[in-house]
């Protein structure tokens, strides 16, 4: 099966015009009324977006993870509620692609291609991200499993026809005491399953964020996803894949917000007597654009990483999920200041984008959860950090930045809970820097390049002798952030060395922003004047569809 990104884009743009279901007016109305974007989902179904949720060997069109990231970013650029409502199915199905029996996966694939909604039930009330505290249990009986317990704050829990549930299968729990079960809610007898009420949320108000409760619900043995006791392992590996998708959401909302701010400032400039854009406004806007570019680089490289070096995804996914939504939050706050009262009115789009955006850093493993995961691997990252890169490894790193579509198939079986090789992209920084210096003879950003190289060196030194402690000391999170930023800078270098539509000005702006991020929370009055030149620019790697709903 083939998916046509162009067809999706065209469909979205068409439906975003006038008062179509994806127009600003319609999207705002749904949000105001907390109504589910059913029409939007139908449009995405028709455009075949769900084919991207299924691997090609099971009949789907998931040839390229970057393609999925881009498609979702575009949808998120119109309405994040719609994006998470539709793409949740991928999250629910991913564990089955990863660990399910062949026949089970094939059955699920058919249903997803037919438009089924699949949910993923991990979290429970009062337990947050602490999966080992889960109480929903599955008791083995001769006839199958008996499920009792509930999952809470689950996207699409009321709508789904299938839900992949993490259940305690050994009473004492522990890392081997949980299993994943793919439950077909349509097959459950009356009275054994209850959908919990939709939760009223601050943003993505129309989303179905709810829950599901089971009371001795009988589920066939074949519902087990992977062997019993592998639930946690499969979940953690599947999260490596799904967390790498979340940046798409941040890129969508950030791109949308940037466009709204640029429109408003552009309008002011046109209709005011004097130049309405103060130098400081221009500079901050440019800084936000540079932030978007870094987000794109990380998201793009991370998506290609899944194809090229899946065994390092434990590090890459943690970085992508921790850094990109955080950068989006910062960008959003800067833009909110620029928007002023216009950004505060419910009749306009910005406030919805701002509220919706906040959820990305919170769900699917909040920033601290991912940084903890990164910190646990930091000693190894440090030990392997200065190992020489083999030629093939270096070549793979350079491929990370390439726009070439010829990616090898995603090898789900190669995902590992811990990356033994560390992180080749960060290891490759000296090579990447050398190559940039080699290719570009006249560089305005020479100084920034040197500074970045030094940052990576310093960070690896700081990571030397780092001993993870539980609970994690506060200062350690600063180190995690610094490592993430090293990855981000390296991603930008890799992209510049590839064939993306980016230039030296782009790289200079990115490096300036990378260095600011490394220094911690930045001054609201950024120094780098390179930002002034890019203030009206847009995303480069994941461009939004033309005619993004602007609101007023």
b/e per residue 485-494 (b: at least 16 CB within 10 A): bbbbbbbbbb
What's the rounded Cα separation, in Å, for the pair 447 and 146? Answer: 63
> Tokens for 69?
């990231």
Contact 173, 124 (CB under 8 A): no
Task: Tell me whether residue 329 or residue 424 sits nearer to another protein (CB atom).
Answer: 329
Binding mask 138-177 for another protein (x = CB under 8 A): ---------------x------------------------
What's the rounded Cα separation, in Å, for the pair 7 and 461? Answer: 49
**Phi, psi angle pair for 152, to nearest 5°:** -135, 145
Residue 358 beta carbon to another protein: minimum distance, rounded to whole angstroms: 7
| Footprint on residues 213-232 left by another protein (CB under 8 A) | none
Selected binder of another protein within 7, 29, 345, 409 (CB under 8 A): 345
Task: Tell me whether residue 126 or residue 189 sits nearer to another protein (CB atom).
Answer: 126
SS3 523: coil
SS3 163: strand
Q: What is the DSSP letter of 389?
A: P
Contact 11, 18 (CB under 8 A): no
Task: Tell me whether residue 282 or residue 540 sits nearer to another protein (CB atom).
Answer: 282
Task: Tell me whether residue 384 or residue 472 sits nearer to another protein (CB atom).
Answer: 472
Residue 336 binds another protein, judged by CB under 8 A? yes
b/e per residue 63-95 (b: at least 16 CB within 10 A): bbbbbbbbbbbbbbbbbbbbbbbbbbbbbbbbb
Burial class (CB in 10 A: 0-12, 13-18, 19+), 457: middle
Residue 361 binds another protein, judged by CB under 8 A? yes
Assess whether the previous peptide bond of 471 is cis (omega < 30° from 0).
yes
Q: Which stretch binds another protein (CB under 8 A): 165-173, 248-256, 267-275, 402-410?
A: 267-275
Residue 359 binds another protein, judged by CB under 8 A? yes
Task: Tell me whether residue 148 or residue 366 sits nearer to another protein (CB atom).
Answer: 366
Selected binder of another protein within 340, 405, 465, 501 (CB under 8 A): 340
Residue 467 binds another protein, judged by CB under 8 A? no
Residue 270 beta carbon to another protein: minimum distance, rounded to whole angstroms: 11
> Tokens for 447?
């100084």
Residue 337 binds another protein, judged by CB under 8 A? yes
Q: How many residues bind another protein (CB under 8 A)?
A: 58
| Footprint on residues 480-539 left by another protein (CB under 8 A) | 519-521, 523-527, 529
Residue 314 beta carbon to another protein: minimum distance, rounded to whole angstroms: 20
Residue 362 binds another protein, judged by CB under 8 A? yes
Binding mask 89-128 for another protein (x = CB under 8 A): -------------------------------------xxx
What's the rounded Cα separation, in Å, for the pair 500 and 526? Answer: 27
Task: Tell me whether residue 176 or residue 199 sits nearer to another protein (CB atom).
Answer: 199
What's the rounded Cα separation, in Å, for the pair 430 and 454? Answer: 10
Residue 35 beta carbon to another protein: minimum distance, rounded to whole angstroms: 15
Smallest Cα–Cα separation from 56: which of 425, 451, 411?
411
Residue 358 binds another protein, judged by CB under 8 A? yes
CB-based contacts of 430: which residues, under 8 Å, 6+ apart? 453
Residue 279 beta carbon to another protein: minimum distance, rounded to whole angstroms: 6
Pairing label, strands 162-168, 118-121: parallel
Contact 71, 52 (CB under 8 A): yes
How many residues are present in the chain? 552
Task: Tell me whether residue 78 or residue 363 sits nearer to another protein (CB atom).
Answer: 363
Selected binder of another protein within 74, 367, 370, 535 (CB under 8 A): 367
Binding site residues, another protein, CB under 8 A:
126-130, 133, 153, 199-203, 268, 271-275, 278-281, 283, 333, 336-337, 340-342, 344-347, 351, 355, 358-359, 361-363, 366-368, 471-475, 477, 519-521, 523-527, 529
């Amino acid at each position: 099966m083939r998916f046509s990104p162009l067809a999706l884009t065209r469909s979205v743009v068409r439906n975003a015009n006038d008062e179509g279901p994806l127009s600003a007016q319609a999207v705002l109305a749904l949000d105001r009324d907390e109504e589910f974007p059913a029409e939007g989902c139908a449009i995405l179904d028709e455009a075949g977006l769900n084919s991207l949720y299924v691997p090609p060997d099971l009949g789907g069109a998931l040839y390229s993870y970057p393609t999925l990231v881009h498609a979702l970013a575009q949808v998120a650029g119109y309405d994040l509620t719609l994006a998470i409502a539709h793409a949740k199915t991928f999250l629910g199905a991913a564990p089955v692609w990863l660990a399910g029996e062949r026949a089970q996966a094939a059955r699920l694939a058919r249903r997803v291609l037919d438009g089924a909604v699949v949910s993923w039930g991990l979290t429970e009330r009062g337990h947050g991200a602490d999966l080992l505290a889960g109480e929903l249990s599955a008791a083995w009986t001769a006839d199958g499993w008996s499920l009792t317990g509930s999952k809470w704050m689950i996207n699409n829990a009321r709508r789904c026809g299938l839900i992949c549930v993490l259940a305690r299968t050994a009473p004492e729990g522990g890392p081997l005491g949980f299993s994943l079960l793919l439950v077909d809610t349509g097959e459950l007898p009356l009275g054994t399953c209850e959908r919990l009420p939709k939760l009223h949320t601050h943003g993505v108000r129309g989303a179905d964020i709810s829950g599901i409760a089971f009371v001795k619900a009988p589920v066939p043995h074949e519902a087990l996803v992977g062997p019993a006791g592998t639930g946690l392992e499969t979940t953690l590996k599947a999260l490596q894949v799904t967390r790498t998708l979340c940046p798409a959401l941040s890129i969508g909302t950030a791109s949308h917000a940037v466009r709204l701010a640029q429109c408003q400032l552009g309008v002011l400039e046109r209709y005011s007597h004097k130049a309405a854009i103060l130098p400081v406004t221009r500079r901050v806007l440019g800084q936000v654009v540079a932030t978007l570019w870094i987000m794109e680089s990380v998201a793009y490289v991370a998506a290609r990483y899944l194809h090229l070096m899946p065994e390092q995804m434990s590090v890459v996914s943690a970085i992508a999920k921790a850094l990109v939504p955080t950068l989006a939050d910062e960008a959003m706050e800067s833009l909110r200041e620029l928007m002023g009262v216009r950004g505060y009115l419910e009749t306009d789009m910005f406030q919805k984008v701002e509220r919706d955006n906040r959820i990305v850093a919170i769900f699917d493993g909040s920033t601290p959860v991912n940084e903890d995961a990164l910190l646990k691997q930091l000693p190894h990252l440090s030990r392997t950090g200065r190992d020489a890169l083999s030629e093939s490894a270096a070549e793979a790193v350079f491929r990370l930045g390439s726009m070439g579509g010829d990616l090898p198939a995603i090898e789900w079986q190669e995902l590992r809970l811990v990356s033994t090789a560390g992180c080749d992209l960060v290891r490759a920084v000296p090579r990447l820097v050398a190559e940039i210096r080699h290719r570009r003879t006249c560089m305005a950003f020479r100084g920034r390049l040197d500074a970045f190289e030094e940052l990576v060196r310093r960070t690896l030194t700081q990571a030397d002798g780092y001993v993870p402690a539980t609970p994690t000391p506060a200062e350690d999170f600063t180190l995690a952030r610094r490592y993430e930023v090293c990855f981000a800078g390296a991603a930008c270098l890799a992209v510049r060395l590839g064939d993306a539509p980016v230039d030296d000005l782009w790289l200079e702006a990115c490096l300036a922003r990378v260095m600011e991020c490394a220094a911690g929370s930045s001054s609201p009055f950024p120094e780098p004047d390179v930002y002034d030149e890019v203030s009206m620019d847009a995303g480069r790697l994941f461009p939004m569809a033309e005619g993004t709903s602007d609101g007023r």
